[in-house]
Amino acid sequence: MNLNIALLPGDGIGPEVIQQAVKVLNAIAEKYNHSFEFKKASVGAIAIDETGNPLPDETLQICADADAILFGAIGDPKYDNNPNAKVRPEQGLLKLRKSLGLFANIRPLTTYDALIHKSNLKAEVIKDTNFVIYRELTSGIYFGEKQASEDGNEASDICKYTVEEIDRIAHLAFKAAQVRRKKLTLVDKANVLETSRLWRKRVAEIAKTYPKVNLEYLFVDNAAMQIILNPKQFDVILTENMFGDILSDEASVISGSIGLLASASIGSHTAMFEPIHGSYPQAKGKNIANPLAAILSAAMLLDHFELYEEAETIRTAVEKSIELNITTPDLNSTNHFSTTNVGNFLSDFILDDENTFYNK
Ligand code: IPM
Ligand code: MN
C-alpha cells in the first residue's frame, strides 16, 4: 500500500518521539513491502516562532492532501505562564482538528502484565483493564464563544452542543461497543448542565438502534472516581470534549505511564494519530521521552487502513520491549533506555524475521 503521511512533530519532545514512530513505520514498510511517504510540516510554538502562526496555511494544506497525519505534541511553557498571550501553540492543534473535521478522538486504554506490579494502583484492581474513550473533539467548551472583559474582571467560555455533533460520535461509540464487550457508558454532568441533558436524550434515542449494547450513565465526578476504583467495569466510555480530555489523562495511570497512551482522531475525510501526552518541555532534547505512545499511534494509523497484521506486529514488538524492560525512565527507574534505544529495539525486532536474537 502507498500512504502519504503528514508529519507534524510540533513542540518539546514531539520531534523525538515522532522520529522513533517513523523509524518503526519504515521497518513495517520494509517488512511488508509498503511505501510510506512522509511530509513534514510545522505546527505549535515552533510554527509561531517561524511564521507567527501556530497553524500555517502550508501545514493545513499538507494535512488536507495527506492520507493521514501523525502528530507529536504541542505546547511551550513560555505561553503557559503568560495569560496575556494572544497567539498560543494549542490554537494550532485546535484549529487543525476543527478544519479537518476530526470530531471523534479515540483513546484506548490497555494494561501490560509486565507493568501491573509497577503501578501506583493495586494489581488486582487494574489487571486486564481494557476500555476505550470516545472523546468528542471539535465542539463543547473548547470551541464555544470566548470572552474576556476589557477591565479584566470577567471571562466566559460557552459550552454548546448540537444534536448532529452528539449523534455522529454516539454512532461511532455504539458501533465500537457492538464489537467489544457491548457496554457503553455515557459520562456527563446531567444533574447540572443543559448540554449534558441533551447528550442523554440523544444517546438514549440512538441506543434503541443498538439493542445489543447495554447503555449506562455516569456523572463525571463519579466517573473520575470509578476509573481508579474499578476500571474493569468500563468497555466504551462516550463523553464530551473537556471531560474526555481530563479522564484520559487520569486513565493513563492504569497503564503505567501517560507515555503509553495513543489516540486516533477521525472524521469524515482524513484522520490524525497522536499520543495523548503533551510536549513535556523538561525532557526536550534529553532523549528520555517515552516514544511508545507515538509508536502505538502509528499502529492505530495502520489499523485505520486495515493493515491489521502490521499494526499487530508493532503492538507485539512494544509488548516485548516492555517485557524485556527496554523502556524509558517513566517506566524504568533503574537501567533505563533512551528514546532512540527503544525505537531501535522495536525496528530491529520487527525486521528480525525469526526473532532469533530477542526471543532467546
Ligand atoms: C490533548 C491535549 C490538548 C487538548 C491540548 C494540547 C490543547 O491536552 O490532546 O489531550 O486539550 O485537547
Ligand atoms: Mn489532554
Mark whether 80 and 24 lie in a shared domain.
yes
User: Stretch 96-107: mean pLDDT, rounded?
Assistant: 97
294-331 per-position pLDDT tens digit: 999 999 999 999 999 999 999 999 999 999 999 999 99
* Per-residue pLDDT, 227: 98
Q: Dihedral of CA 138/139/143/145: which sign?
A: positive
What are the tens digits of pLDDT across the range 219-257? 999 999 999 999 999 999 999 999 999 999 999 999 999
Answer yes or no: is 275 within a domain: yes
Asked if residue 58 belongs to a domain, the reply is: yes
Same domain flag for 226 and 278: no
Last residue of one domain, picked from the residues 255, 285, 312: 255
pLDDT band for 360, please (50, 70, 90 cuts).
very low
| Percent above pLDDT 90 for the chain | 92
Per-residue pLDDT, 264: 98
Placement of cell 440523544 in the chain:
202
Is the ipTM reported for this complex over the cut 0.95?
Answer: yes
Q: Are both 226 and 244 inside the same structural domain?
A: yes
**Is the domain of 63 the same as that of 169?**
no
Q: What's the pLDDT score for residue 269?
A: 84
- DSSP string for 225-284: HHHHH-GGG-SEEEE-HHHHHHHHHHHHHHHT-GGG-EEEEE-SS-EEEEESS---GGGT
Across 188-197, average pLDDT: 98
Specify whether 126 is located in the same domain as 248. Answer: yes
- Secondary-structure percent of the chain, ordered helix, strand, coil, rounded to 5: 45, 20, 35
Question: Active-site residue numbers?
Answer: 142, 189, 221, 245, 249
Domain C-terminal end among 255, 290, 311: 255
Identify whether 114 is part of a domain.
Answer: no
Strand partners, 133: 107, 237
Question: Of 209, 239, 255, which residue constitutes the final position of a domain?
Answer: 255
Q: Ligand 1: which of 90, 146, 240, 246 to mutate, most ligand atoms within 8 Å of CB? A: 90
**Per-residue pLDDT band at 81 (split at 50, 70, 90):** confident
Contact 134, 239 (CB under 8 A): yes
Same domain? 92 vs 143: no
Average pLDDT in the 37-44 region? 98
Pair 249, 272 in one domain? no
| CATH number, residue 158 | 3.40.718.10
**pLDDT at residue number 355:** 65
Q: What is the number of domains present in the chain?
A: 2
Atom of ligand 1 nearest to the CA of 248: 10
pLDDT of amino acid 82:
86
Residue 352 annotated as part of some ligand binding site: no
Half-sphere exposure of 320 (CA within 13 A, CB side): 19
Three-class DSSP labels, 9-57: EECCCHHHHHHHHHHHHHHHHHHHCCEEEEEECCCCHHHHHHHCCCCCH
Claim to verify: residue 163 and residue 240 sit in the same structural domain: yes
For the CA atoms of 274, 278, 284, 290, what is the dihedral angle to 10 degrees?
Answer: -60
Q: Is residue 80 part of a domain?
A: yes
Q: Best mutation site among 11, 76, 93 for ligand 1, i.e. most ligand atoms within 8 A of its Cβ? A: 93
Of 100, 40, 46, nearest to 75 (Cα)?
Answer: 46
276 lines ligand 1 (CB under 6 A): yes
Residue 357 has pLDDT above 60, yes or no: no
With respect to residue 109, please indicate whether it lies within any of the assigned structural domains.
no
Name the strand (E) or helix (H) holding 106: strand 104-110
Has residue 166 got a pLDDT over 90? yes
Mean pLDDT along residues 112-122: 91
Range of the domain at 170: 119-255
255 vs 22, 127, 263, CA distance in Å?
Answer: 23, 9, 14
Q: What is the dihedral of CA 277, 280, 284, 288, to 10 degrees?
A: -70
